[in-house]
Amino acid sequence: MGSGSGWVYSADGHIITNNHVIEEADRIEVRFFNGESMDAVVVGTDPKTDVAVIKVDATKLHASTLATEPVEQGEIVFAFGAPFRFEFSMSQGIVSGQGRQLGILAERQGYENFIQTDAAINPGNSGGPLTNIYGQVVGMNTAIASRTGAFNGLGFAIPIDMVKKVVDELIATGTVQRGYLGIFIEELDPRMARTFGYDGKGVLVTNPIDGGPAAEAGVQRGDIITKVEGKPVSTPDELRNLVADLAPGKRYDWRFIGKARSVKKWRPSP
């Protein structure tokens, strides 16, 4: 029997955890701090971000408070969970870094943008909240980097803004829709950038897929994407994460460096 952690999202019984905690479960039981236990059902899962929503039959749970501002490097944080089945444990650390990619969701073509922390996270912590000093949830503990399977100072959490977007869609529709551009991309080589007379950062378009939204908007091989909706882009992972947050069917502002083209707008598809 497997175990993990979770946290209350809404008073009417929605609980958030990692997909990998519950994806092979035949039955899910939630145990609360007051000793009460309840069976839960799956509302929806998103393997691409490792987020899952389950629900218990309740109406007056105490919902967690979500942070509205992103964490900063050096900020004090607390990790809650059940490491090695030691329930309702808590550890303290700091935000060591942000925007980390581990490749743990690569097989599922997933989206990674982890908060790195040195708060102790061990097997059983997965799905638990990472909070700031005000008790606001800033992320969800998800993974560690370790050769032994035990914590060695490298813990990773999904940022709360990513969690919230996925959770709200799962609760509303049971699925998550993401933007799709239909392009192959790679990190921009500085030498290639100089051939365009450009010395900044960006992502190189190596091949627009025929019939895709980018190709239909006139994007060509060799174009350099520099911004999406005003946000700078410097790596393929950054671009994928930004596109994933865009609602399909709407128009967005894209900044390019290319052959006589500096600004383009197109509509991502689901």
Active site residue ranges: 20, 50, 126
Cα(126)–Cα(262) distance, integer angstroms: 44
Residues of the chain by 3-state class (helix, strand, coil), percent to 5: 15, 35, 50
Nearest of 177, 210, 188 to residue 258 by alpha carbon: 188
Q: Is 224 helix (H, G, I), strand (E, B) or coil?
A: strand
Residue 20 dihedral angles phi and psi, to the nearest 5°: -70, -15
Cα–Cα distance list, 55 to 35, 41, 65 (Å): 18, 5, 18
DSSP class of residue 18 equals E
Cα(83)–Cα(110) distance, integer angstroms: 25
